[in-house]
Amino acid sequence: MAYSFPEEVLEHVFSFLTSDKDRNAVCLVCKSWYEIERWCRRRIFVGNCYAVSPEIVIRRFPEVRAVEIKGKPHFADFNLVPEGWGAYVYPWVAAMSAAYPLLEEIKLKRMVVTDESLELISKSFKNFKVLVLSSCEGFTTDGLASIAANCRNLRELDLRESEVEDLSGHWLSHFPDNYTSLVSLNISCLGSEVSFSALERLVARSPNLRTLRLNRAVPLEKLPNLLRRAPQLVELGTGAYSAEIRSDTYSNLAEAFSACKQLKGLSGFWDVVPSYLPAMLHVCSGITSLNLSYATIQSPDLVQLVTQCRNLQRLWVLDYIEDSGLEALAASCKDLQELRVFPSDPFGAVPNVSLTEQGLVSVSEGCPKLQSVLYFCRQMSNAALVAIARNRPKLIRFRLCILEPRVPDYLTLEPLDTGFGAIVENCKELRRLSLSGLLTDRVFKYIGTHAKKLEMLSIAFAGDSDLGLHHVLSGCESLRKLEIRDCPFGDKALLANAAKLETMRSLWMSSCSVSYGACKLLGQKLPRLNVEVIDERGPPDSRPESCPVERLYVYRTVSGRRVDMPGFVWTMDEDASLRFS
């Protein structure tokens, strides 16, 4: 049995396994399979940069070509993680530069990336091809210049939603004249102008360019110059979509667009001047992905554009679309899979648009393939949620954000427990859920009972007691990430379900009622977890043990306590009591 196939054959067989889950399963079969597999694993995904150290990864997988690492917890997006918390990529890059000279891909999310790291990347990996920095920060355009100058085989440079310090727009000119392998460029997050002539020349010498996402500073008048040089584009992000209204600008634009026969994705659209929208008319029928979440256009221009895109699969849009627009969307776009509606005026006290629960209900009725929803609105009812759940039992992601916390069903004034209960009960494949509105412990009972495939749950301003948290931790079998803010959840549920935390990637709790004492206990009992208290008020032991901590971040790890913690993060472990006394 053990001598069935030679190594090379097994390696070849394993090369067809692309999912990490499958590869991890293979490793558990027997020692020789473990050995063979680890030498041929080429892609690594690290969901939490502190769950494992670079050294451990390198030791186990010596021949990696692509690395994906995630850093800060999701709530960092909403300023709940203080500056300087961590997630530095440098130690990873330093270790990999020695161990993986053939590394081709680095994808990072919510990590701190310095110019130093970028320079090291550009000089260490001769065959470097793909750099994706998603929601990262800490670097400047100088770092980008190093990448441009040194990565001769670069295919993809994607800076999506990162915070970049703009020192100069000339970094783009650092791509050598004989560099022609660009396939994807996303600079949409850059605040200031890049050298347009450099951009133009770069596009002109990139015959394989498929994705080009420009930043706001690229004027509309100049867009045709780029499109004409890249009619093979599949994804385009425009710059500001506004210009003086002139017929020659318009006709140039329309002509340039009509030459782009392969366009499937559009984004950008800052500062839209509606008169220029019809210039895109001819490409609409091919569009499957449309991101209008920065476009401050309203009906009828907005609706006209969206309904022209009959093959739309993904739509991100502002709430200017209103219920009427969503109804039109539901009637026109039968292939819609993902809808995200963002608030145009998140802090306004009164509604500025006519967008209610009805819009989402219409889409759930009309779009049979809908599986992913992110919806910001101001009112919701149980009836609407029940309707949505019944219409779309195949939902995978459902994130609802009612702008005001703790708002009840506006029709009955009851909590929205029943509505969300219907969602988890009907949508048996649900993997991600975000709750909002007035919710009692009952909704958590429903979730614990039904949401068996749920992997990520976000809770805010909800629940009555520890029982709520207990339902979730004891019932949700597939739970990997749990993030909670401003809920009356405390010690009891956490300690009673401590072992559950070792089966999850991470737990975040902020502004809840978890005491310092409970955190210490958790840290002492479960050595394979890092229990970290984030508290800007000073050392937790300067306050009574019963005092709740500001923020708690618990995650499983095989590399022990962090060694790079800032002054406001404390690890609770066996030595905690010794260290503090």
Partner 1 sequence: MEGMIMAHESDLNLKATELRLGLPGTDECEEMVSAAKNNKRASPESVEECGSKGTCAAKSSEHETAPAPKAQIVGWPPVRSYRKNNLQPKKTESESGIYVKVSMDGAPYLRKIDLKVYNGYPELLKALETMFKLTIGEYSEREGYKGSEYAPAYEDKDGDLMLVGDVPWDMFMSSCKRLRIMKGSEARGLGGAL
Question: Rounded to whole angstroms, what are the CA distances from 181 to 184, 225, 265?
Answer: 9, 20, 21
Q: How far apart are CA 567 and CA 513, in angstroms?
A: 22
Q: How far apart are CA 265 and CA 6, in angstroms?
A: 46
The residue from 27, 130, 218, 403 that contacts partner 1 (CB under 8 A) is 403
Whose CA is closest to 369, among 396, 341, 387?
396
The residue from 196, 241, 276, 376 that contacts partner 1 (CB under 8 A) is 376
The residue from 176, 207, 368, 405 that contacts partner 1 (CB under 8 A) is 405
Q: Which positions ≥6 away from 331 have C-beta within 8 Å?
A: 307, 366
The residue from 241, 294, 420, 446 that contacts partner 1 (CB under 8 A) is 294
The dihedral region occupied by 110, where left means phi > 0, alpha psi between -120 and 50, and beta the remainder, is left
Whose CA is closest to 297, among 277, 314, 319, 274?
274
* Structural tokens at position 317: 């849009």
The residue from 65, 264, 406, 492 that contacts partner 1 (CB under 8 A) is 406
Phi, psi angles (nearest 5°) of residue 258: -65, -20
The residue from 1, 2, 28, 349 that contacts partner 1 (CB under 8 A) is 349
Residue 83 binds to partner 1 (criterion: CB under 8 A): no
Whose CA is closest to 549, among 499, 581, 507, 579?
507
Q: How far apart are CA 174 and CA 145, in angstroms?
A: 6
- How far apart are CB 505 and partner 1 at their closest, in Å? 20
Residue 296 binds to partner 1 (criterion: CB under 8 A): yes
Which alpha helices (H) appear in 125-212, and where do they start and end?
Answer: 141-150, 196-204
Closer Cβ to partner 1, 70 or 155, answer by number: 70
Residue 341 binds to partner 1 (criterion: CB under 8 A): no
Closer Cβ to partner 1, 215 or 288, answer by number: 215
Site for partner 1 in 503-562 (CB under 8 A): 511, 513, 537, 547-548, 550
Q: How far apart are CA 285 and CA 257, in angstroms?
A: 13
Residue 440 binds to partner 1 (criterion: CB under 8 A): no
Q: How many residues bind partner 1, per CB under 8 A? A: 40
Residue 270 binds to partner 1 (criterion: CB under 8 A): yes
- How far apart are CB 78 and partner 1 at their closest, in Å? 3
Residue 28 binds to partner 1 (criterion: CB under 8 A): no
Site for partner 1 in 314-333 (CB under 8 A): 318
The residue from 7, 77, 477, 564 that contacts partner 1 (CB under 8 A) is 77
- How far apart are CB 571 and partner 1 at their closest, in Å? 21
* Structural tokens at position 507: 């737990």
- How far apart are CB 16 and partner 1 at their closest, in Å? 38
Question: Rounded to whole angstroms, what are the CA distances from 38 to 6, 16, 63?
Answer: 16, 14, 8
Q: What is the 3-state secondary structure (H, E, C) of 21-49?
A: HHHHHHHCCCHHHHHHHHHHCCEEEECCC
Which span sits near partner 1 by CB under 8 A: 57-65, 97-105, 205-213, 337-345? 337-345
- CA angle 27–33–38, rounded 5-degree value: 65
Asked if residue 579 lies in contact with residue 550, where contact means CB atoms within 8 angstroms, the answer is: no
Beta-sheet strands, E only, within 50-134:
66-70, 105-109, 130-134
Distance of CA 23 to the CA centre of its chain: 24
* Structural tokens at position 299: 């009906």
Q: How far apart are CA 563 and CA 379, in angstroms?
A: 46
Site for partner 1 in 179-198 (CB under 8 A): 189
Question: Rounded to whole angstroms, what are the CA distances from 322 to 185, 296, 319, 328?
Answer: 33, 13, 6, 10
Q: Which positions ≥6 away from 465 have C-beta within 8 Å?
A: 441, 488, 489
Distance linking the first and last C-alpha atoms of the chain: 58
Which span sits near partner 1 by CB under 8 A: 118-126, 151-159, 402-410, 411-419? 402-410
Residue 477 binds to partner 1 (criterion: CB under 8 A): no
- How far apart are CB 335 and partner 1 at their closest, in Å? 26
The residue from 25, 30, 102, 245 that contacts partner 1 (CB under 8 A) is 245
Closer Cβ to partner 1, 231 or 274, answer by number: 274
Question: What 3-state class would DSSP assign to 374?
Answer: strand
Residue 444 binds to partner 1 (criterion: CB under 8 A): no
The residue from 168, 181, 293, 324 that contacts partner 1 (CB under 8 A) is 293
- How far apart are CB 511 and partner 1 at their closest, in Å? 6
- CA angle 510–516–518, rounded 5-degree value: 95
- How far apart are CB 144 and partner 1 at their closest, in Å? 18
* Count of C-beta atoms within a 10 Å radius of residue 7: 12
- How far apart are CB 348 and partner 1 at their closest, in Å? 8
The residues facing 411 across adjacent strands are none
Residue 486 binds to partner 1 (criterion: CB under 8 A): yes
Closer Cβ to partner 1, 10 or 569, answer by number: 569
The residue from 461, 508, 516, 555 that contacts partner 1 (CB under 8 A) is 461
Which span sits near partner 1 by CB under 8 A: 7-15, 106-114, 338-346, 469-477? 338-346
- How far apart are CB 226 and partner 1 at their closest, in Å? 20
Q: How far apart are CA 235 and CA 286, in angstroms?
A: 11
The residue from 346, 539, 560, 566 that contacts partner 1 (CB under 8 A) is 346
Closer Cβ to partner 1, 179 or 342, answer by number: 342
Closer Cβ to partner 1, 433 or 487, answer by number: 487
Residue 253 binds to partner 1 (criterion: CB under 8 A): no
Residue 250 binds to partner 1 (criterion: CB under 8 A): no
- How far apart are CB 200 and partner 1 at their closest, in Å? 22
As to burial, measured by CB atoms within 10 angstroms (0-12 exposed, 13-18 middle, 19+ buried), residue 3 is exposed
Residue 163 binds to partner 1 (criterion: CB under 8 A): yes
Which span sits near partner 1 by CB under 8 A: 115-123, 282-290, 300-308, 483-491? 483-491
Q: Which residues are near partner 1 by CB under 8 A?
A: 75, 77-80, 161, 163, 189, 216, 240, 245, 270-271, 293-294, 296, 318, 342-344, 346-347, 349, 376, 401, 403, 405-406, 460-461, 485-488, 511, 513, 537, 547-548, 550
